[in-house]
Copies of this chain bind each other. A is one copy, B any other.
Amino acid sequence: MGKRGYHHGNLREALIEAALKLIAQKGPQGFTLSEAAKDAEVTPAAVYRHFAGREDLIVEIAVQGFEIFADLMEFAYDDGRPSALAAFEATGRAYLAFARRYPGHYVAMFESGLSLNATPELARAAARALAVIEKAAARLSEHIPAAKRPPPAMFSAHVWAMSHGIVELFARGAPGGRAPFPPEDLLETGIGIYLRGLGLLPPDA
């Protein structure tokens, strides 16, 4: 990768990677600029060639995270194909896959105490990601008889809450310690039961 010589070559990326590792390991508050710099084999002062400061680095990571997150979910949703239900379920799996594969991003996005309006760029990226979840829920809920249909925003809040709860409690080194079941199974069965409650799945599927 060419860290030979005086110039690093790709310090910006190296700092982001180091920060991601640290954030995933010790949480967003435990992360320090100095340690990220050390990981990238560089003086702390060098960080300021690429970022305005500590906060700016975290924001950058959150922005990147929301963009990957939105892309992943959009890809999984695939514009509602082959069916609203299948697309919805794929989106849920993408949520969990993202949390699992990009733990540092996930933490920066949802646990750093960052305001999603910290910068316009961040606000835009976050809005795009959350819109995918809401669209998937809204489209699916059109299949529910209007009389017993919950508001789409409520539907998507339920699904998001269960997904987030499973990630926080069972997909990390979290407090409960050992997960009683694989998080993927928990999410699939949990959402399945929920959808059955809405009449979107047959009662004994």
Give the interface of A toward B (CB within 8 A): 26-30, 109-111, 113-117, 126, 130, 148, 150, 153-154, 157-158, 160-166, 168-170, 174-177, 179-181, 186, 189-190, 192-199, 201, 203-204
Contact = CB atoms under 8 A, between A and B. Distances in A.
B176 A166 contact: no
12 contacts: A27-B29, A27-B113, A28-B29, A115-B177, A117-B177, A158-B186, A165-B168, A192-B197, A193-B194, A193-B198, A197-B201, A199-B203
A148 B205 CA distance: 9
A175 B65 CA distance: 14
Contacts of A161: 161-162, 165-166, 169-170, 186, 190
A194 B196 CA distance: 8
A157 B175 contact: no
B168 A186 contact: no
